[in-house]
Structure 1
Amino acid sequence: MSLYELAVLGDATDVQRSQLATTVQEMVTDFGLRIDVDVVVHDGGSIGGRDRHAAFAAVYFGGDPNKDLAAVDELIQTSAPIIPTIARGAEFSSQIPSQLYFANGLRRTDDPKMTALAAALLECVGLLRRQRRAFISYRRIESRNAAMQLHDLLTSRGFDVFLDTHDVRPGESFQDVLWHRLCDSDVLVMLDTPTYFESKWTRHEIGRARAKEIHVLRIIWPDHTPSRLTDMAETIYLDRADLSGADGPIVEATSERIVLAVERLRSRSIASRYMSITGRLRADVDRIGAAVAAIGSHRAIAIKLLDDRQVWAYPIVGIPTAELLNDVADKARRADQRETPILIYDHVGISEAWVTHLKWLDDNIKSVRAVKASEIGWALAAWES
């Protein structure tokens, strides 16, 4: 039985369907999922047989707005998410059915692999979190203009981007905010200039990003020989022609390529961190004599305790919020999970004030429990709902 189901509707060409399916397959493989087994992709003809228990999302390709209307109406009636999408320069109102005017659309830019569209689908079914966060690590004396440009460009594409000159409010502890925001980032964009490693702050940023298993996109300045310390990072080399000035900005075509690289790397980074937390969870479950009983949608894991009770754990990437706790409680209620669900998170690097806030939430909200990944075995061994 599939855990996730997607649908490609509307006026998509065979090439577009194939490319989107290929990109989705690459992304879900990072989570250890199999296409056509764990993840099923429907078209207008097969969507009527979809599994209503699986997490679901659809995309509607603009063009002829009269295609697959019966499927669109049925999905709207069941409140299933549908992403309308049109090509660059196309007109939304002439290519998308009027029933979908309420939904925010996605305009496809120079993205031949449709990475942004695939990511949006996986956000809708809960494989990728909806919060899109990036962290720019750079030296002001060498790459300030490029950093500000990428901050604005990524922000325009829906990312919450941390840049030191923009995102620390007066009176706040600079380092506390910096490490807190780093821990909640999906990708670190490293502007690798000649003196990058001469600053202890940038050295600490890259080191702690790697310690948290946050993937790094390394942008290497022209004529600069990068440190071997970051050889495992995804890399884009700049030529002199890619920069309008010594410290940027970066020319449009190259900056667009960087944004697409961040989009794809984000999926890998989230998958890697998720798999790391679930690996620790499985090891602790085995250690206390419990067992993983099943895998559910929304990345849920069923755990059978020694007294035969079954609890559901939801490992998450990033920093827990009240909104996220509510989302887990809602998913557990919809799935009729009778024991209190558990949100599992990595607490390392989270600010002390936020840890105190999470403890208050855990003491006062009884519909879901938040447990540190490092303490999950300890908590499950004496679990009380």
Structure 2
Amino acid sequence: MSIYELAILGAVTPGDRATLTATLADIVSDFGLTLGDDVVVHNADTLSGRHKPAAFACAYFGGNAQQDLEAAQELIRASAPIIPTIAAGADFNVHIPQFLQPINGLTRRADDPAMTELASAMLECVGLLRRQRRVFVSYRRVESRAAALQLHDLLASRGFDVFLDTHDIRPGDPFQDVLWHRLVDSDVMVMLDTPTYFDSRWTRQEIGRARAKEIQVLRVIWPAHTPNKLTDLAETIYLDPEELEGADGPIVAKTADAIVLEVERLRSRSIASRYMSITGKLRADVEKIGASVEGVGAHRAVAVRLLDGQKIWAYPIVGIPTAEILNDVADKARRAEQQEIPVLVYDHIGIRDAWNAHLRWLGEHILAVRTIKVSEAGWALAAWEN
């Protein structure tokens, strides 16, 4: 079964499809993934069989003959990200179907024959950019330290940003505040389930808060250990005695590689479900005030039509907003020639108080982007003024 799923629809020529597919294959190979196996690219005929729990994005090629309309409309109904794209010099309003025109699109540049920008926009939607790949390792130092260090290094070598408390909390930082901050910025928790894992209140809280934030959990269970019922719903890998080289690890190479592959698979599901959750909360608040969501486009930008007719572009993110992300959103809105100030939407639960204060400061001083908490979206948008 594939890990990530993509689609190429519309008036795409065989040559353009081959070029884009080759560029996608080249980019995902950096993460040790293979196009066709780990990452599947659908057309209109195979799209109905896509694995819906997996992270997904679609590119729709505009042209004189508008094709695959039914497949594209089905993606709109499913709130799946779809990127309308046209060639340099083409007219978006002529070559893109009307129902896709409200969505954030992308004009392919003449100086980008490999379509790297389009491929990157598709992979950004499924979280396959290096700055987006975050994993949290939860463990008891007294029982699984060697395995935790091994997985930290192995995951990092596969392009993940891995949090391990002994590596990633600087001296003088408030330990628990930083830990929760990094947890909510992660896509997957790797839980090394050893006999005394639940004896620590910190590890108990880590697993509970990961679930509260809809972060996928991979449970790696030590040999001869009966796991706690509290984690029965987590994805599970059982270790045999011969798969540990010592009491606390490391784990034999073949099994460690299997753990990394499962992290990749869970991360895809986590990206899909967390974006769907925040987009669903935004949609619910938008509809509650009588406004409407018109679609989800490039960079997962959500087109929102307010009651007074004005249109805004909301960019939901999972994890922690940063000044770099705000700048990125502003740049994407500028390149998409959006006239309105873009809006970054985020979930503030679990973010450090100091960082929330930093975000308030950024909101007051960076005028190119506005920010709203998803829990306050309806309240803020009901009185929205650009």
Q: TM-score w.r.t. structure 1 length?
A: 0.75
Given that 1:313 and 1:344 are in contact with CA atoms closer than 8 Å, whether structure 2 keeps it comes out as: yes
The aligned counterpart of 1:112 is none
Given that 2:57 and 2:126 are in contact with CA atoms closer than 8 Å, whether structure 1 keeps it comes out as: no
The aligned counterpart of 1:106 is none
The aligned counterpart of 1:249 is 250
Letter in structure 2 aligned against 1:167? D
Given that 2:56 and 2:125 are in contact with CA atoms closer than 8 Å, whether structure 1 keeps it comes out as: no
Given that 2:184 and 2:351 are in contact with CA atoms closer than 8 Å, whether structure 1 keeps it comes out as: yes
Give the deviation of 1:295 after TM superposition. 2.4
Letter in structure 1 aligned against 2:331? D
The aligned counterpart of 2:210 is 209
1:259 is paired with a residue whose SS is helix
The aligned counterpart of 2:300 is 299
1:163-196 deviation digits (Å, cap 9, x = unpaired): 1111111111000110001010111000011111
Matched residues, number: 321
Letter in structure 2 aligned against 1:329? A
Given that 2:218 and 2:235 are in contact with CA atoms closer than 8 Å, whether structure 1 keeps it comes out as: yes
The aligned counterpart of 2:184 is 183
Whether 1:9 aligns to 2:45 is no
Letter in structure 1 aligned against 2:123? E
1:123-272 superposed matches below 5 A: 123-124=123-124, 127-128=127-128, 130-272=131-273
Letter in structure 1 aligned against 2:385? E
Letter in structure 1 aligned against 2:176? Q
1:267-320 deviation digits (Å, cap 9, x = unpaired): 111111111111111110111111112322211111111110011111101101
Mapped partners of 1:255, 1:352: distance in 2: 36
Give the deviation of 1:149 after TM superposition. 0.7
Mapped partners of 1:312, 1:207: distance in 2: 33
The aligned counterpart of 1:360 is 361
1:222 is paired with a residue whose SS is coil
1:204-258 deviation digits (Å, cap 9, x = unpaired): 0000000000000110111111112111111111101110001100000110111
Q: 1:9 to 1:23 in 2, by over 3 A?
A: closer
Whether 1:22 aligns to 2:40 is yes
The aligned counterpart of 2:77 is none
Q: Which runs of 5+ in 2 are unaligned?
A: 1-7, 26-33, 60-67, 74-83, 93-104
Q: 1:265 to 1:121 in 2, by over 3 A?
A: farther
- Relative contact order (C-alpha < 8 Å, sep 6+): which is higher? 2
Mapped partners of 1:82, 1:286: distance in 2: 31
Mapped partners of 1:171, 1:17: distance in 2: 44
Q: 1:184 to 1:272 in 2, by over 3 A?
A: same
The aligned counterpart of 2:286 is 285
1:346-368 deviation digits (Å, cap 9, x = unpaired): 10010111111111111111111
Give the deviation of 1:265 after TM superposition. 1.1
Q: 1:203 to 1:165 in 2, by over 3 A?
A: same
RMSD over equivalenced CA pairs, Å? 3.2
1:312 is paired with a residue whose SS is strand
Given that 2:181 and 2:351 are in contact with CA atoms closer than 8 Å, whether structure 1 keeps it comes out as: yes
The aligned counterpart of 1:317 is 318
1:121-149 deviation digits (Å, cap 9, x = unpaired): 85345655532111110111111110111
Letter in structure 2 aligned against 1:380? L
2:357 is paired with a residue whose SS is helix
Q: Which runs of 5+ in 1 are unaligned?
A: 40-48, 58-72, 84-119
Given that 2:124 and 2:299 are in contact with CA atoms closer than 8 Å, whether structure 1 keeps it comes out as: no
Mapped partners of 2:187, 2:127: distance in 1: 13
Mapped partners of 1:32, 1:283: distance in 2: 22
Q: 1:20 to 1:169 in 2, by over 3 A?
A: closer
**Which of 59, 80, 99 lines up with 2:116 in the alignment?**
80
Query: Which segment is superposed worse, 375-384 or 16-25?
Result: 16-25
Q: 1:76 to 1:276 in 2, by over 3 A?
A: same
Mapped partners of 1:319, 1:220: distance in 2: 30
Q: 1:38 to 1:234 in 2, by over 3 A?
A: farther
Letter in structure 1 aligned against 2:207? I
Mapped partners of 1:124, 1:256: distance in 2: 24
Q: 1:28 to 1:142 in 2, by over 3 A?
A: same
Give the deviation of 1:9 after TM superposition. 2.7
Given that 1:134 and 1:187 are in contact with CA atoms closer than 8 Å, whether structure 2 keeps it comes out as: yes
Mapped partners of 1:358, 1:165: distance in 2: 27
Q: 1:74 to 1:190 in 2, by over 3 A?
A: same
Q: 1:340 to 1:384 in 2, by over 3 A?
A: same
The aligned counterpart of 1:110 is none
